[in-house]
Structure 1
Amino acid sequence: MRYKLLALPVLALVLYSCASKSSIPTVEVPKEKVLSPELAEGKSLYENSCARCHQLYNAKDYSAEQWKPIVQRMQEKARLNDAQGLKIYNYLTMN
C-alpha cells in the first residue's frame, strides 16, 4: 500500500515534467514596412500596371542597375509616363 501512495506522486511529477510548458502556441507576425506616399504609389503602379501583362517579379530578384532597363522598357509597353516609371523604380529599389 505504501508503494502505491508513493508511486502516485512520483508518477504525477514525471508526467508534469514531461508535459509541454506552453499551452498557447506563439506565432511570429511579420512586420509590414511603412511606405512613404511616393513608394506606396509606386507599389500600386507596379502591382496594377505590370500585373496586367505578366507575373510580378520579386524586387530582390534584380539589383538597382538591372531594374533600370527593365522598368524603362516596361514603362513604354504599359504606357506610363516618366514620373510613374520613376516611382515604380524607386519602389523596386528601396531596399
Structure 2
Amino acid sequence: MKLRILSIAFAAVLLAACGSTKSTAVASAPAAVETAPAVELTPELAEGKNLYENSCAKCHKLYEPTKFSKEEWQPILVRMQKKAKLDDVKMASITNYIHSQL
C-alpha cells in the first residue's frame, strides 16, 4: 500500500514539474532580439553558425552568442573544441561566427 501511494505521489510530482513554465524566459526573449546586432551572415559565417548549431547542440542547449563576451567565450570554445573533437578550421569558423554576433 505504501509503495502504491509513493508511486502516485512521485507521478504527481513528475507531472507537476514537467508542466511548469518559466515566464521570465519568455519575458527576456524579446529584449534579446531587440538588442541583438543585425549582422548579415556571409557564407563563411553561415557555415560557422551551422557548425555551432549542429556540433554544440548534440550535448547541450545552445547559448546566444551575446550571452558572453569575447573574453568569456575563449576558454569555453577551447574546452568545447576538445569535447566535440573539432579540428582547428571548424573551430575557427565557429569562433568567427560567435565573434561576429557580439
Asked if Structure 1 and Structure 2 have the same fold, meaning a TM-score greater than 0.5 normalized by the shorter chain, the answer is yes
Aligned pairs, number: 65
In the alignment, structure 1 residue 58 sits paired with structure 2 residue 35: no
- Which amino acid counterpart does residue 77 of structure 2 have in structure 1? V
Q: Which has the higher helix share?
A: 2
Unpaired runs of 5+ residues, structure 1, are 1-29
Bigger relative contact order, structure 1 or 2 (CA pairs below 8 A, ≥6 apart): 2
- Which string of whole-angstrom CA distances, capped at 9 and with x for unpartnered residues, describes residues 6-65 of structure 1? xxxxxxxxxxxxxxxxxxxxxxxx9x7431111111000000000000000010010011
Q: Counterparts of 1:63 and 1:87 in 2: how far apart (Å)?
A: 17
CA RMSD of aligned residues (A): 1.6
Q: What is the TM-score with the length of structure 1 in the denominator? A: 0.63
Identity of aligned residues (%): 52
Tell me what 1:21 maps to. Answer: none
Which of 46, 55, 58 matches 1:40?
46
Which of 72, 76, 82 matches 2:82?
76
Unpaired runs of 5+ residues, structure 2, are 1-33
Q: Counterparts of 2:70 and 2:39 in 1: how far apart (Å)?
A: 19
Which stretches of structure 1, 4 residues or longer, exceed 4 Å deviation after superposition?
A: none
Higher radius of gyration, 1 or 2: 1
Q: Counterparts of 1:33 and 1:65 in 2: how far apart (Å)?
A: 20
Q: What is the TM-score with the length of structure 2 in the denominator? A: 0.59
- Which amino acid counterpart does residue 49 of structure 1 have in structure 2? S
